[in-house]
Amino acid sequence: MQYRNTSSNRIFDFFNATIMILICVCSLFPIVHVIFASLSDPMKLTAHEGIILWPLGFTLKGYQLVFSNSNILIGYMNTIFYVVVGVILSTFLTILGGYVLSRKSLLWRNTIMFFITFTMFFNGGLIPFYMVVKNLHMTNTRFAIIIPTAISVFNLIIMRTSLMKIPESLEESAKIDGAGHFIIITKIVIPLAKSTIATIVLFYAVGIWNSWFNATIFLNDRNLFPLQVILKEILVQDDTSAVLNSVDAGNTDIYRSLVKYCTIVVATLPVLCFYPFVQKYFVSGVMIGSVKG
Amino acid sequence: MNWINIKKDFKANKVLYFMVLPVVLYFIVFSYVPMSGIIMAFEQYSPQKGIFGSTWIGVKNFVDFFNSYYCLRLIKNTFLLSFYDLIFGFPAPIIFALLMNEIRRKKVKKIVQTISYMPYFISITVIAGIIIDFCSSTGAITSIVAKFGGPSSNLLGIPELFRGIFIGTNIWQGVGFNSVIYMAALAGVDQELYEAAAQDGAGRWKQALHVTIPGISNTIIIMLILRLGHLMSVNFEKVILLYSPVTYSTADVISSFVYRKGLLEFNYGYSTAVGLFNSAMNFAILLLANRISKKISETSLF
């Protein structure tokens, strides 16, 4: 865009800068509050009202309680399991689907595409979905978390769009050299679509990491709970009994708030630290997918 | 499409069809089979008798729902929550993207982007936990609101505030990440158009009005249609985490009602009927939006 250093432009820049700063502050302040609160002395914390902009006293007792609690550790282990297995399965299926549906010579290509895309706009509802999973005997098993949500139509479309951009000449010359589909996928398609695949992996990973509802409706066994369900108990249902069972009865009230903040930090910090590194991938991935979404 | 072509295609692409089979199977099992479960909406469903054994009651479930006390309230809540979310939440990422586009220092832009994307990656349970804490009687937001003369009690117990809290936090969480697709569209606007406009004497504002916005209008329209396709679903996971019987009068939406009636009260037939009504409304709005968009602009989803 052309830029001329006029006074009206400078005023606009000033306003823009102010708005940007405001947005950044708003994005950050809840996170800052939570982090500092998690390090604060529990007595001062319970007595305090309002925003916390620096730690009130200092203690690591909250984290001590959280890390020594088996429920949270089990939740973490479960979530990591679901994310790893889920991402591998989902990415595999999405690449497969994206590859097949990007082959222009396929007769039923558009029909299948419509068949799949239609599910984005209409579904049978919550209860029939629940009944299907139940009738497949997946309820209260790990399968219920990984399989019913294995493929996202949105991600499939992104994958397909980016694979359609690979020049057909590459595929044809490989075919002439005698390559089958498997070799084409592994040696040509995957290396060329690396950034889209990274985007898909990221979207699936974040989706599985953050999901809680399916776990809530399908799982009864506490040993299978992902982290988010434990978090929901502690943060939303205000049931800190699982975490505070090592604190004697007289002190539980005091530690209640502190433990909540520490749990939030423990559950979220890994994601927040990890995502800036993959930020460039999803930005470019969305750009690729957005040309014809 | 004649039979010979189909045979030829299958012979040539056998491997491809086998490769895509698991994907198609997945959608059949988890998307289309549940659609057939819609039959439950027309039955007095009982788990012992199953789908084929339960009594057929036709549209009674629907009639019961439309005659019920809370039907109007549910529809109103669902519609209002979605509508306000659309009016405030849909333009926010667009405006944000437009403003970010005006930042000239690349490094500053990158920092703003990184910071603004952060809230999106926080899970909804944690967000709910933060909201519940900040809106409690001793919470951060409550104390700010009280200073400006607002209520100083638990903000999530006040029905009138529910929509504001819900949508405000939606915007907080989504404005950064949702702007990515608009940033992508902005990057695709031809630079020469800007130069031509500047030649004709257009200042920044006129350039934005006549070059930028028309340039990304396609993206905006598609995103709007997609958004309208989910108008009646609202973000019901968030609703369930934040509502309570005290705020049902503004917070209870059709999807949360379906969840309660179905999975918590086991009234499967009734709940499926209401869910079907919801899905059908969504679909109808989507078709309508698509048709209107086709008539007004050349862009449409299908």
CATH superfamily of B69-296: MetI-like (1.10.3720.10)
Residues of A in contact with B37 (CB under 8 A): 124-125, 127-129, 131-132
Q: Which letter does DSSP use for residue A243 in this model?
A: T
Above 70 in pLDDT, residue B225? yes
pLDDT at residue B49, rounded to an integer:
78
- Of A59, A74, A98, the last residue of a domain is A59
**Which residue on chain B is closest to A266 by alpha carbon?**
B126
> Are A49 and A91 contained in the same domain?
no
A287 and A220 within one domain: yes
- Cα distances from A249 to residues A234, A244, A258, A261, B211, in angstroms, run 17, 9, 16, 20, 66
Q: Which residues of B touch A109 (CB under 8 A)?
A: none
Per-residue tokens: B79 = 């519609």
Q: Give yes or no: residues A110 and A169 share one domain.
A: yes
pLDDT reported for residue A243: 66
The pLDDT, as a whole number, for residue A93 is 95
Cα–Cα distance between A142 and B191 in angstroms, integer? 51
A246, pLDDT greater than 70: no
User: Among A233-247, B19-33, B115-129, B221-235, which is the least confidently predicted range?
Assistant: A233-247
- Whether B214 and B39 have beta carbons less than 8 Å apart is answered as no
| Mean pLDDT of the region A111-140 | 90
For chain B, percent of residues with pLDDT exceeding 70: 98
Whether residues A51 and A84 share a domain: the answer is no
Residues of B in contact with A156 (CB under 8 A): 23
Instruction: Determine the structural domain holding residue A120 and report its residue range.
Output: 60-293
CA distance B189 to B216: 7
Q: Which DSSP state fits B299? A: -
> What are the boundaries of each domain within chain B?
3-56, 69-296
CATH number of the domain that A231 lies in? 1.10.3720.10
Average pLDDT score over residue span B138-143: 83
What's the domain count of chain A? Answer: 2
The beta-carbon neighbor of B279 closest among A2, A125, A272 is: A125
Of residues A18, A204, A279, A211, the one with CA closest to residue B177 = A279
Predicted pLDDT of residue A287: 66
Q: What is the pLDDT of residues B28-49, one digit of tens each?
A: 999 999 998 888 888 888 878 7
The string of pLDDT tens digits covering residues B94-114 is 999 988 888 888 888 888 888
Contact present, B282 and B231 (Cβ < 8 Å): yes
pLDDT at A156: 92
Which pLDDT score, from 0 to 100, does residue B302 have?
67
Establish, for the pair of chains A and B, how many residue pairs have beta carbons separated by less than 8 Å. Answer: 268
Contacts of A24 in chain B (CB under 8 A): 111-112, 115-116
Question: Of A13, A36, A59, which marks where a domain is finished?
Answer: A59
Contact B158, B251 (CB under 8 A): no
Task: Please name the amino acid found at residue A196.
Answer: T
For residues A72 and A18, state if they share a domain: no
Mean pLDDT of A112-134: 89
β-sheet bridge partners, residue B56? B43
B276: chain A residues, CB-CB within 8 Å: 124-125
Do residue A214 and residue A75 come from a single domain?
yes
B150 in A contact zone (CB under 8 Å): no
B38 — alpha (psi -120 to 50), left (phi > 0) or beta? alpha
Is A80 touching B (CB cutoff 8 A)? no
The answer for A 107-166 residues in CB contact with B (under 8 A) is 107-108, 112, 115-116, 119-132, 136, 147-148, 150-151, 156
pLDDT in tens, A159-179: 898 888 888 888 888 888 888
Q: Has residue A2 got a pLDDT over 60?
A: no
pTM for the full predicted model:
0.85
